[in-house]
Amino acid sequence: MMTAEKHIPVEMRTLFGSYIMKMNEVPGRHVTKEDKAREQKLFEMVDDYIEQA
The model's pLDDT over 6-21, given as tens digits with 9 standing for 90+, comes to 777 777 777 777 777 7
Whether residue 53 is contained in a domain is answered as: yes
Is residue 23, in this structure, part of any structural domain at all?
no
Q: Assess whether pLDDT exceeds 90 at residue 47.
A: yes
In 3D space, the residue among 6, 38, 11 whose CA is nearest the CA of residue 22 turns out to be: 6
Question: How many domains does the structure of the chain reveal?
Answer: 1
Q: Tell me if the pTM is above 0.75.
A: no
6 domain residue, yes or no: no
With cut-offs at 50, 70 and 90, classify the pLDDT of residue 2: low
* Domain coverage including residue 44: 29-53
The answer to whether 40 touches 33, Cβ cutoff 8 Å, is: no
pLDDT of residue 16: 76
Residue 19 pLDDT: 76
CB atoms within 10 A of CB 34: 8
Does residue 49 belong to any structural domain of this protein?
yes
Mean pLDDT, residues 19-43? 83
Residue 35, SS3? Answer: helix
Specify if 51 maps to a domain.
yes
Residue 3 in domain: no
